[in-house]
Each structure stands twice: as C-alpha cells, then as structure tokens.
Structure 1
Amino acid sequence: MTTRTDHTTVPTPRLRNGRTHPNNVQADVWLVFLRELRPVLRDPLSIVFGLLQPLVFVGLFMPLLSSFSAGELDLHWFVPGVLVMVSLFATASTGSNLQFDMHTGAHERTLVLPLRRGPLLIGRALKEMVPLTVQACVLILITLPFGFLPNPVGALLGLVILAGFGVGFGALSYALALAVKNQDWMFWTIQQAVLFPLMILSGMLLPLEQGPGWMRVVAAFNPLSYIVEAERALFAGRFGWEAVWGAVAAAVVVLIGLFVGTRAMRRA
C-alpha cells in the first residue's frame, strides 16, 4: 500500500503482522479522545466560560418567553431546546480547532500516526461532549428550583442522542475546515450561514406551529428539528415515536458526517 504526499509516492509502513493499524477502532477513538481532552483538563476555565452562553439564554429568554406565554413557560419544552443549541454551537466550531492544528503543523504529524481516519474524527468530536455534559448538568441544576424535573432515564438517552449528533456534525465541521484550509474567514462565514437557519428552522427556542406554512415545510426536512422534539419528549419521560425519529435523525447525521469527514481527511 502506498500514500501520496507532495506528489511523491511513499510506502505506508506496515506492522509485523501485516496490518497498518496496531489498535482496533475503539482503541484509536479512545487515544484520540484522550489526546484532545488533555488541554481541556489542563485549562478547565474553558468549560466555565462555555457555561456563559446557556446561562445567558436561560436568563434572557426565560423571562421573555414567559411573558409571551402568560407566565406559564414549560421548562420541559425550553431547557432541552437550549441543550440542543449548546450542542449545535459547540460541535459546529470544532473545525476551528482543526484549523489551529493545521496552522501549527500538529495535524500533519497526526496524519502519519498509525491511526484510522474515522477515529480521528470521532475522538475529536466526542471530546466536545465532555464540556457539553458538564454544561447540561449545571443548566439542569439551575432550572430545578423553577420546576424543571427531567426524567433521569430520558435525560440520559437524550444526552446519548446529542452525543451521536455531535459526532456527525463535528465531522462535517472538520470536513469544512479541511476544504477551506487556511482561510479562516471562509470557515466562519459558511458555518454561520448554515448554523442559524438550522437553529431557527428546528424550533429549539421559538415554536414553529404558528409560523408560515413554507417554514414548517422546510423544517420537516431539517434533521435538527426531529432531534429537538426527541430531547423534549425524553426529558419529559415520553419514550414514543418522537424519541425514535430523533435517534434516526442523529444516526443519519452521523453516517453522513463520518462519510464526508473521512473522505476529506483521506484527501488531505
């Protein structure tokens, strides 16, 4: 087997057993996950600053939506939407970390390691679930005095669905970073152009039931809308078709994200 680097064909090193990867997929994912998690553990303030966004939305949107709903805001509707929003923003910006690695040369050094390309994406994206889980726990604790009582099993399943979605969406973010290479401005322009329509058309913060008909039609093709409905159902303890369709939507995002991201990583 050979690889192509700077128009020069070089042999890919093989192990004694003839394999090109010493570990299985799970071990590769774990190694990448630990590598990406170490900077977060060394600098836990990044998690603390990450809490500012959900706290701002809770502090500002809760009173605003309560006024629109005559003071009867359903926290089982509102809080899961905020959690999905935090997951969306966190995983959408993971490509910027890859761009930083490309600037410093760390990405090229990683590519020569005997690691599969899929685990490189999965491990990086799963790292984002650690601060997300911490933020979710803090957000739940803050809203408990206001009457938010999530179903423990449903909340756990909801976080699993969010983790799956995060892996797929994070892989797409990495593919975008590889496509634009050193053009950071283009990465953020495309990311924002995709991010906000997905967020608005998912109904995570504002209901779409009373919106225009065309908006509801477009929202039906948005996988994020099914994930939002699944999170609300699971946190409320409803284990019906809403949860199933949310899991299916997350699985579709994972498959598409890993396929696109792995192809982009191999071409890089």
Structure 2
Amino acid sequence: MIRRIRLLIWKEFLQLRQDPFLAGILVIAPVVQLLVFGYVVAVDISHLNTAVVDLDRTGVSRSIDSAFSSSEYFTVVQRPGSEAEIRQLMDQGTIQVALVIPEGTQDALTDGRTAPIGVVVDGSDSQVSTVAGAYASQIIAGINSARMAAAGATIGGPGVDAQVRVLYNPTLDSINTMVPGLIAVISMISLMIVMSQAVVKERESGTLEQMFVTPIRAGEYIVGKITPYVLLAIVQIAVVASVGIGWFHVPFHGNVWVIATGMLLFMMTSIGLGLLISLMANTRQQAQQVIVFLMLPFMILSGFIFPVEAMPGWLQAVSAFIPMTYILEVLRGSFVKGSGFADLARPLLVLAVYGVAIFSIAVAATRRRITA
C-alpha cells in the first residue's frame, strides 16, 4: 500500500513538472501575496487629499493651515474660497478631508475665547474618515500645546477646538461602505470563475470540436456562452443590493442608472478577463490557480479591504490599473454620497476604456481560437 501511495505521489510531481505554468503560479503566488499583504496591512493612512477653507486670513489661520500642510497625514490639494465648495469636491473624490477656519478665529483667541475649527471628513470610507478625524484632532491638540508653551501657561485654557463633522455616513458604519463593495466583488468572482472555465472545459472534454461540426458560427457560440451568466450576474447584483438595503439598512442615495452603467462596464471587464484566462490555460486547474492569483491582489489593492491611502505610493500606482478600484468608487459614491454621472465621470470613463478594450480583445481572441 505504501509503495502504491509513493508511486501516486511521484506521478503527481511528474505531472506538475510537465506543467511549468501551474508550478510557477503555485510558487510565485504566495510570495506576491505576502508582499502585498505586508505592505498594505503594515502602513498607516497618510497623505489624505485635503482642502483648506481659510475664511479668517490671519496669522493664526495661516499657522493652522501650515500645521496641516506640513503633516504627513494630510496633503493640501485645494483651497476653495467658500465652505459650499467642499461637498462638490468630495462628491468628485478630489478630497477626503476639509479644514474650515471660520472668520474671527484670531480675534477669538486674542480675547481668550475658544475658537472652533471645522474638520469635515468623507464618511463614504469609514476607515479613512475615522483615522482622519483622529489625526486632525491630534494636530489641533499640538497647536494648542504650542500656544500654551509660547505663553508660558502650565494648564489648559481657551484655544482652538476641532469640531469633526462626517459627511454622507455620519454613523461611520462600515456596513454602509462594505455592501456596495460586495456587489462588485461577488459579481467579479462569479463571472471570472465561470468564464475562465468556459473554453478550456469544452476543449478538455472534446465537445468544442464537436460543436463546430454543426452550422453554429463563432459569434453565435460566444453570445450563447456569455448571455446566461450575464443574466445570472444581474440577478446576483439585484439580490445583494436588495439584502443590503432591506436587511442591513444600508442607505441608498444614488441613481439606479449610475449603478447599472458602472456595473455593466465592470461586467464586460470581468467577462473579458475570464475568457482570456480560459484561452491561456490548458486545464481547468490552471485556470483556477490564475483566478486565485488575480483575485487577492484585486480585492486588497482596490480599496475593498484596506484603504488605498494606507498603501505606499508605488502600490497606489498599481491600484490605478485595477478596474475594481473604479467600480468601488462608483458604487460607494452613488450609494453613500448620491453622486451622479457628472461627479463620477472619471471612474466611469476609465471603466468604459477597460471594459471595451478587454472585452473586445477577449472576444476576438476567442473567435480566433475556436475557428483555428
């Protein structure tokens, strides 16, 4: 019995050696995943895009502005002239934090009164907003400590008071940002897994050749192959959204057509990637390993699990090439913020480029493969 088992083990290693593609995936994937997790999980959130609305325009307001600008946690990218512009900047995803220095701040401190400073954070990402509020309060506390030290005071007194306000998700419930993301993740997993098996499965069983003995054309085959799974994905999306809104009470402030447009473009990308994997892989086992290899980086680097702002700069650059990054921006922006087509024009445009390009390449490659 031991000899038979030993021979079976040896046979499996021989088969693995004959399949260098699969062997490479098995060796490389853990290393890549370890590096990705190590960099993403171990880094604090920093360089949050920030807007400063200075309505006081005094030496004190400039020192507060400078304290935030010089901090590694905040990067001032906008200086709007009024508080009313903050919402539009957040809707467009330009900023995550806004600092509002009201008129009369220096006069209040001079008169020995407390000067309230507004800190507005974007609640569509609960992790970022929680950390941003804490960082802002920490900087304000440092400003007050410096003022007291300069005045020779040993106990606290009136100073700058950080009043944190959360837009869009005031309760900071993580479920409100997780459910919109799950819509994209579940759709991508189901479509990529199914489509990655589409051609390779029939090629392995020999039914692909039999199929084209019939009068069916390559284009008809592709449409017939894709359509059922697209319909199932639409049902999945509707079920997940309904459960999230009805059972978990996730607020929906957006436009159904914005969601539908974004998901349609994202589904084209998922189908295209699945078909390309099916064409590259020689066996279903290879296709499954490639899916696992791609799925973890997609979910980790897109901002679904960890904020993109928590990643090093080079990983943030990588996340810009991942389609899921943009569908998450569309779904969370529409669900939580109520952002429309104009506010989400950039991520929708990127999704359109990815969807059309990847789907077209995959369909053309599939047509060539099955008619060769």
Q: Which has the higher strand share?
A: 2
Q: How does 1:21-100 map to 2 (within 5 A)?
A: 72-93=172-193, 94-100=195-201
Deviation at 1:114, TM superposition (A): 4.3
Instruction: Deviation per CA, 1:196-231: give whole Å up to 9, x if none.
Output: 212211112332222333322221222221121011
Select the structure of larger CA radius of gyration: 2
CA contact (8 A) 2:329 2:347 kept: yes
TM-aligned CA deviation for residue 69 of structure 1? 6.1
With over 3 angstroms needed to count, the CA separation of the structure-2 counterparts of 1:149 and 1:174, relative to structure 1, is same
Measure, in 2, the Cα distance between the counterparts of 1:222 and 1:228.
Answer: 11
Q: What letter corresponds to residue 353 of structure 2 in structure 1?
A: V
Q: Which of 285, 288, 291 is residue 191 of structure 1 equivalent to?
A: 291
Deviation larger for 141-150 or 70-79: 70-79
Cα distance, 1:121 vs structure 2: 3.7
* Paired residue secondary structure (2:307): coil
**Matches of 2:335 and 2:225 in 1, distance apart?**
27
Contact between 1:99 and 1:184, CA under 8 Å: does it hold in 2?
yes
CA distance in 2, matches of 1:90, 1:160: 19
1:178 aligns with 2:279: yes
Q: Is the 8 A contact 1:92 1:170 kept in 2?
A: yes
Residues of 2 paired with 1:107 and 1:160: CA distance? 33
Shift of the alpha carbon at 1:84? 0.6
CA contact (8 A) 1:121 1:258 kept: no
Listed as ranges, the gaps of 5+ residues in structure 2 are 1-125, 132-170
**C-alpha distance in 2 between matches for 1:199 and 1:205:** 7
Using the size of structure 2 for normalisation, the TM-score is 0.47
Q: State how 1:120-131 maps to structure 2 within 5 Å.
A: 120-131=221-232
Distance 2:300 2:223 in 1: 27
Aligned to 1:233: 333
For 1:107 and 1:79, how far apart are their aligned partners in 2? Answer: 39
Q: Percent identity?
A: 20
2:202 is paired with a residue whose SS is helix
Aligned residues: 200
**Gapped regions of structure 1 (runs ≥ 5):** 1-64
Higher relative contact order (CA 8 A, sep 6+): 1
Change (3 A) 1:108 1:86: same
| 2:281 partner letter | V
Look up the equivalent residue of 1:78 and give its one-letter code.
Answer: M
Distance in structure 2 (CA, Å) of the matches to 1:245 and 1:258: 21
Kindly provide the CA deviation profile for residues 4-35 of structure 1, in whole angstroms up to 9, marking residues without a partner as x. xxxxxxxxxxxxxxxxxxxxxxxxxxxxxxxx
Q: 1:258 corresponds to which letter in structure 2?
A: S
